[in-house]
Structure formats: C-alpha cells, structure tokens
C-alpha cells in the first residue's frame, strides 16, 4: 500500500500502517510518494497492482475522476482518503468521517448534542457528515462567512459567526482549521471563554499533539480529544479495507504516540 500527497514527508501513515502490518504478520509495506500528478499515480496503481492508496492533502478531491466507483460516505463528503484496488477496479472511500465519529464516541454521546465545527474546508465536510449521521445538532463557524454558509446549507447544518458561538453554547466543539498547528502554536481558533466543564473539545491537528485550544479547554474542565485519536481511527478503518483483517488499533496508537513520546 502507499500514501500519496504533496507534501507527504511529514505523514505518519507509513509508520502506523507498517507497525500494523508487522503486528498482524502480513507481508507488506506502506510507502509515501510525493505526488503532483494524482491521475498519473492512479494509472500507476492500476498498472502495478498496488492494493491500496491512502490519499492526503491536496489530492482528496482530485483523484475522484480517475476511480471506478465511490462508497456512499465518500460520495456524500465529496472527497476520498482511501482507494482500494480489487482486480483493477478502483473504489474510493472516505474513512475520515468514521475516524472522527469513533474518536468522539469513545468519550461522549453525539446524538442530540449542540456541536460546533470550526472551519469549512474538506476536513470540516467529513466531520459534519459524521456528526449529522450520529444525530448531532451541527453548526459551522468559519472566518469567511460565505464559505461557511455554503457548507452549512449543503450539509444540513446552521452557520454561526464567531460572535454567535458563545450563545449557541456548544456541548461539543471540533477544530478543523490549521490554527494552532506548528509553527503557529500560540494561536487558537476560538476564545477560551467558550469552554465549559463537561464540554468535549476535539482537535484534528496532531502537530503538536496538544494545542493551545486543547490546553485551554482542559483548564476550563472540558474533555479534550487530541488529533492523534481521529488519525488512528481513520487509519484503522483504512487498514481493514486494505487487508480485510481487523486493525490492531492499540499497536497503531502506540506507533504514532511513540513518535512523540513513549506509549
């Protein structure tokens, strides 16, 4: 299997899938390819008979025209993060929504909860899909109103400006923007005044593993879920699609945690 993206050198997918393959005794490898021609990469996948691709930024939408079919989640989200090659028939999947939902549901119930999704890019689309499918009451908060309103309308959520967020009183809040990511680690996309005891705050950034947003949320008594959690669960679902075997989730979690610290 392989991961394609641009840039891709930072990707932890080869490390995580490599550890999982070894733990399951499967003779295989996951290699990273820095790709600027996604169509060419997919022709290569067919020609070489590579079983699976993990697709990362910026190719999650660009690969779609080269595939034979999409699963319903990928279709609804409009983006693909996994391609499976079955006898040269290529199917696109999106495991980001599954990863987000599993990471959240490990810590809280989504059904009926006021859930604020910060950002309106591709990651926000996948997470909104997951929240709405799980029965959450979703709101989109975005710097650019027009983009946020468009996404909210398309996905069946409401749009809120930054000023309206506090009045919405979110029970779950998820950051899907890059605000707080290395090297801008002193920034946070929302003021600390929105955090409350009992709230669940999830980050999708995992560099650094604990962002300013998560630190401030925890200081106010909120439950924090770091970005490694969603990353591991989206990868676990990918691994199951790649191999047809159950994923060794703890091995995968340890592999990525060990990258930063010891597990």
Of the candidates 24, 60, 89, 107, the residue annotated as catalytic is 60
To the nearest whole angstrom, how small is the minimum distance from the Cβ of residue 230 to ligand ATR? 13
To the nearest whole angstrom, how small is the minimum distance from the Cβ of residue 83 to ligand ATR? 18
Closer to ligand ATR by CB, 143 or 257: give it: 143
Distance CA 166, CA 153 (A): 21
Closer to ligand ATR by CB, 82 or 251: give it: 82
To the nearest whole angstrom, how small is the minimum distance from the Cβ of residue 58 to ligand ATR? 8
Rg, Å, the chain Cα set: 18
Closer to ligand ATR by CB, 120 or 241: give it: 120
Which parts of this chain interact with ligand ATR (CB under 6 A)? 57, 119-124, 142-144, 147, 176-179, 189
User: Is the Cα dihedral 168, 174, 179, 184 positive or negative?
Assistant: positive
To the nearest whole angstrom, how small is the minimum distance from the Cβ of residue 145 to ligand ATR? 8
Closer to ligand ATR by CB, 59 or 248: give it: 59
3-class DSSP assignment, residue 25: coil
Active site residue 24: no
The answer to whether 142 touches 120, Cβ cutoff 8 Å, is: yes
Provide long-range contacts, Cβ within 8 A and 24+ apart, for 189-192.
189/118, 189/119, 189/213, 190/118, 190/141, 190/162, 190/165, 192/216, 192/217, 192/219, 192/220
To the nearest whole angstrom, how small is the minimum distance from the Cβ of residue 50 to ligand ATR? 25
> What DSSP character marks residue 242?
H
Closer to ligand ATR by CB, 119 or 248: give it: 119
Distance CA 163, CA 165 (A): 6
Q: Which residues contact 50 (CB under 8 A, 6 or more apart)?
A: 1, 2, 44, 85
Instruction: With CA atoms as reference, report the closest residue to 208 among 177, 185, 175.
Output: 185
User: Residue with structure tokens 């597990």?
Assistant: 263
Residues catalogued as catalytic: 60
């Amino acid at each position: 299997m392989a991961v394609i993206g641009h840039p891709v050198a930072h990707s932890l997918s080869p490390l995580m899938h490599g550890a999982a393959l070894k733990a399951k005794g499967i003779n295989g490898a996951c290699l990273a390819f820095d790709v600027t021609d996604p169509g060419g990469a997919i022709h290569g996948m067919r020609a070489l008979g590579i079983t699976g691709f993990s697709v990362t930024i910026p190719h999650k939408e660009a690969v779609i025209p080269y595939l034979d079919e999409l699963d319903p989640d990928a279709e609804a989200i409009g983006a693909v993060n996994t391609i499976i090659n079955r006898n040269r028939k290529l199917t696109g999947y999106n495991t980001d929504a599954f990863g987000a939902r599993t990471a959240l549901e490990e810590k809280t119930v989504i059904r009926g909860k006021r859930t604020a999704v910060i950002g309106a890019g591709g990651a926000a689309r996948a997470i909104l899909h997951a929240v709405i499918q799980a029965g959450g009451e979703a709101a989109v908060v975005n710097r650019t109103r027009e983009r946020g309103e468009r996404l909210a309308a398309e996905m069946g959520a409401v749009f809120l400006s930054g000023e309206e967020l506090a009045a919405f009183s979110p029970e779950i809040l998820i950051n899907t923007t890059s605000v707080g990511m290395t090297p801008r680690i002193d920034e946070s996309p929302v003021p600390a005044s929105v955090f409350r005891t009992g709230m669940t705050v999830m980050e999708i950034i995992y560099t650094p593993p604990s962002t300013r947003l998560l630190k401030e949320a925890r200081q106010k008594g909120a439950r924090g879920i770091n970005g490694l959690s969603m990353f591991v669960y989206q990868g676990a679902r990918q691994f199951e699609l790649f191999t047809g075997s159950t994923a060794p989730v703890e091995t995968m979690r340890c592999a990525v945690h060990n990258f930063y610290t010891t597990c």
